[in-house]
């Protein structure tokens, strides 16, 4: 699993998502995902990958 810092494009909050795939391979550079702050699905920018 890899940890990624995502920024919600709606509320602007940054939070950490753990997934098993490489988010830098997304064509759009954005991820449609549930935002824990907005409490519904929004687009997120990939801020960076966290190194353990
Ligand atoms: Zn949000």
Per-residue pLDDT tens digits for 6-48: 999 999 999 999 999 899 888 888 999 999 999 999 999 999 9
Q: For residue 51, what pLDDT is reported?
A: 82
Question: What's the order of all strands across the beta sheet hosting 40-50?
Answer: 14-19, 2-8, 40-50, 30-35
Domain limits of the chain?
2-50
Q: For residue 21, what pLDDT is reported?
A: 87
Q: For residue 26, what pLDDT is reported?
A: 85
Q: For residue 43, what pLDDT is reported?
A: 97
C-alpha 11 to ligand 1 mean position (Å):
4
CATH number of 2-50: 2.20.28
Instruction: Return left, alpha or beta for 24; rule: phi > 0 is left, psi -120 to 50 is alpha, else beta.
Output: alpha
The pTM score is: 0.88
C-alpha 49 to ligand 1 mean position (Å):
19
């Amino acid at each position: 699993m890899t940890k990624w810092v995502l920024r919600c494009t709606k509320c602007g909050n940054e939070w950490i998502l753990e997934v098993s795939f490489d988010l830098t391979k997304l064509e759009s550079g954005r991820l449609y995902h549930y935002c824990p702050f907005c409490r519904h699905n929004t687009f997120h920018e990939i801020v960076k990958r966290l190194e353990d």
